[in-house]
A and B are shown apart, each in its own frame.
Chain A
Amino acid sequence: MSEKEIKAKTETPMLDELKTGPWPSFVADLERYSEKKPAVGQLLGQLEQSYEDRWNYWQGTVLNVDGYGGGVIARYSELGEQYPDIAQFHTIRVIPPPGWVYSTEKLRELCDIWEKHSAGIMQLHGMTGDILLLGTDNKTTFEAAEELMEKGWDLGGSGPALRTLACCVGEARCEAACFDTMALTKHLTDNYISELHRPELPYKYKFKLSGCANDCAASMQRSDMPVIGTWRGAMQINQDEVGKFIDDKGIEFVIDNVLTRCPTNCISLKGKTIDVDNDNCVRCMHCINVMHRALKPGKDRGATILIGGKRTLKIGDTMSSVLVPFMPLKTEEDFTKLTDLIDSIWEFWGDNGLEHERIGEFIARVGLGTFLEGIGLEPDPQMINQPRTSPYIKFEELTGSKIDGEPEHNPAVSNEEGEMAEKAI
Chain B
Amino acid sequence: MSVKTKKKMAPRDNGAPDHRPNLHPLMLKNYGKWDYHEKLRPGLLLYVAESGDKLWTVRAGSPRTMSIDTVRKICDLADKYAQGHLRFTSRANVEFSLANEDDIEPLMEEIRSVLGFPIGGTGHSLSNVLHTQGWMHCNLPGTDAAGSVKSIMDQFINEFVTDDKLPARVKISASCCQINCGGQADIAINVQHHHPPVIKPQGVGICELPKVVAICPVAAIRPRQGDDGKTTMEVVDEKCMYCGACHGQCPTMEIRDANTDTLSIWIGGKNSSTRKGPSFMKLAMWGLPNNPPRWPEVGEALQTILDCYKSSAKQYERMGEWIDRIGWKRFFEMTGFPFTKYHIDDSVSARSTFNTSTHVRI
**Cβ–Cβ contact A332 & B3, under 8 A:** yes
B217 touches which one: A114, A189, A421 (CB < 8 A)? A421
A26 touches which one: B71, B146, B271 (CB < 8 A)? B146
**Cβ–Cβ contact B274 & A172, under 8 A:** no
Taking CB atoms, residues of chain A closer than 8 Å to B287 are none
Contact with A along B183-224 (1 / 0, CB 8 A): 110000000000000000000000000010011011100000
**Cβ–Cβ contact B14 & A286, under 8 A:** no
Instruction: Say if the beta carbon of B99 comes within 8 Å of chain A.
Output: no
What is the CA–CA distance of A89 and B71 in the complex, to the nearest angstrom?
20
Question: Known: A25-B63, A60-B139, A286-B275. Is A101-B14 also a contact (CB below 8 A)?
Answer: no
Binds A, one of B17-25, B304-312, B328-336: B17-25
How many residue-residue contacts, CB under 8 A, span A and B?
Answer: 379
**Cβ–Cβ contact A33 & B68, under 8 A:** yes
Binds A, one of B34-42, B100-108, B225-233: B34-42
Say how far A83's CB is from chain B's closest CB, in angstroms.
13
**Cβ–Cβ contact A21 & B154, under 8 A:** yes
**Cβ–Cβ contact B66 & A122, under 8 A:** yes
Instruction: Say if the beta carbon of A398 comes within 8 Å of chain B.
Output: no
Taking CB atoms, residues of chain A closer than 8 Å to B132 are 127
What is the CA–CA distance of A49 and B78 in the complex, to the nearest angstrom?
37
Taking CB atoms, residues of chain B closer than 8 Å to A105 are 84
| Chain B count of residues within 8 A CB distance of the other chain | 122
Taking CB atoms, residues of chain B closer than 8 Å to A165 are 16
Taking CB atoms, residues of chain A closer than 8 Å to B184 are 218, 221-222, 311, 317
Instruction: Say if the beta carbon of A319 comes within 8 Å of chain B.
Output: yes
What is the CA–CA distance of A367 and B150 in the complex, to the nearest angstrom?
43
Instruction: Say if the beta carbon of A257 comes within 8 Å of chain B.
Output: yes
Contact with A along B1-44 (1 / 0, CB 8 A): 10111110110111111110111100110011011110000000
User: Do most interface residues of chain A lie in helix, strand or loop, or is the interface mixed?
Assistant: mixed
**Cβ–Cβ contact A100 & B66, under 8 A:** no
Say how far A88's CB is from chain B's closest CB, in angstroms.
12
Within 8 A of A (CB), among B93-150: 94, 97, 115-118, 130-132, 135-144, 146-147, 150
**Cβ–Cβ contact A213 & B274, under 8 A:** yes
Instruction: Say if the beta carbon of A422 comes within 8 Å of chain B.
Output: yes
Instruction: Say if the beta carbon of B349 comes within 8 Å of chain A.
Output: yes
What is the CA–CA distance of A284 and B318 in the complex, to the nearest angstrom?
14
Taking CB atoms, residues of chain A closer than 8 Å to B16 are 95-98, 154, 165, 185-186, 189-190
B293 touches which one: A51, A122, A257 (CB < 8 A)? A51
Within 8 A of B (CB), among A194-218: 194, 197, 213-218
- Between B19, B55, B256, the greatest number of chain A beta carbons within 10 A of the residue's beta carbon is seen for B19
The residue of chain A having its C-beta at the shortest distance from the C-beta of B272 within the complex is A215
What is the CA–CA distance of A108 and B349 in the complex, to the nearest angstrom?
51
**Cβ–Cβ contact B139 & A50, under 8 A:** no
**Cβ–Cβ contact A315 & B135, under 8 A:** no
Say how far A278's CB is from chain B's closest CB, in angstroms.
17
**Cβ–Cβ contact A221 & B271, under 8 A:** yes
**Cβ–Cβ contact A104 & B86, under 8 A:** yes
User: Do most interface residues of chain B lie in helix, strand or loop, or is the interface mixed?
Assistant: loop
Instruction: Say if the beta carbon of A67 comes within 8 Å of chain B.
Output: yes
B65 touches which one: A54, A121, A256 (CB < 8 A)? A121
A24 touches which one: B14, B63, B245 (CB < 8 A)? B63
**Cβ–Cβ contact B118 & A312, under 8 A:** no
Instruction: Say if the beta carbon of A425 comes within 8 Å of chain B.
Output: yes
What is the CA–CA distance of A261 and B62 in the complex, to the nearest angstrom?
34
Instruction: Say if the beta carbon of A103 comes within 8 Å of chain B.
Output: yes
**Cβ–Cβ contact B273 & A104, under 8 A:** no
Interface residues on A, range: 35 or more
B67 touches which one: A17, A30, A100 (CB < 8 A)? A30
What is the CA–CA distance of A15 and B134 in the complex, to the nearest angstrom?
14
**Cβ–Cβ contact A26 & B66, under 8 A:** yes
**Cβ–Cβ contact B293 & A149, under 8 A:** no
A129 touches which one: B90, B215, B243, B349 (CB < 8 A)? B90
The residue of chain A having its C-beta at the shortest distance from the C-beta of B138 within the complex is A58
Contact with A along B70-95 (1 / 0, CB 8 A): 11101100110000111111101010
**Cβ–Cβ contact B245 & A261, under 8 A:** no
What is the CA–CA distance of A293 and B183 in the complex, to the nearest angstrom?
32
Taking CB atoms, residues of chain A closer than 8 Å to B19 are 97-99, 101, 172, 182-183, 185-186
B34 touches which one: A175, A314, A316 (CB < 8 A)? A175
Within 8 A of B (CB), among A1-46: 1, 14-15, 17-18, 20-27, 29-30, 32-33, 36, 40, 43
Taking CB atoms, residues of chain A closer than 8 Å to B10 are 67, 193-194
Taking CB atoms, residues of chain A closer than 8 Å to B181 are 127, 311
Within 8 A of B (CB), among A295-333: 311-317, 319, 330-332
**Cβ–Cβ contact A421 & B219, under 8 A:** yes
B71 touches which one: A30, A124, A336 (CB < 8 A)? A124
Taking CB atoms, residues of chain A closer than 8 Å to B74 are 107
The residue of chain A having its C-beta at the shortest distance from the C-beta of B259 within the complex is A54
Say how far B220's CB is from chain A's closest CB, in angstroms.
9
Instruction: Say if the beta carbon of B320 comes within 8 Å of chain A.
Output: no
Contact with A along B335-347 (1 / 0, CB 8 A): 0000000000001
> 14 more A-B contacts (CB under 8 A) besides A97-B22, A418-B219?
A17-B294, A24-B61, A25-B63, A29-B67, A33-B69, A47-B136, A54-B290, A56-B138, A102-B85, A121-B65, A123-B66, A285-B274, A332-B1, A425-B348
A-B CB proximity, top 3 nearest: A21-B154, A60-B139, A33-B67
Partner-B contacts on A (CB < 8 A):
1, 14-15, 17-18, 20-27, 29-30, 32-33, 36, 40, 43, 47, 50-51, 53-60, 67, 73, 75, 89, 91, 95-108, 111, 114-115, 120-125, 127, 129, 134, 149, 152-154, 165-166, 168-169, 171-175, 177, 180, 182-183, 185-187, 189-191, 193-194, 197, 213-222, 228, 256-257, 261-263, 282-286, 289-290, 292-293, 311-317, 319, 330-332, 335-336, 339, 355-356, 417-419, 421-425
Jot down 26 A-B pairs with beta carbons below 8 A, ordered by A: A18-B294, A20-B154, A24-B118, A29-B65, A40-B67, A53-B258, A56-B138, A97-B16, A111-B71, A120-B67, A122-B65, A124-B88, A153-B17, A154-B12, A154-B14, A168-B90, A172-B23, A191-B6, A215-B272, A220-B273, A261-B275, A263-B276, A313-B245, A355-B211, A421-B218, A424-B217
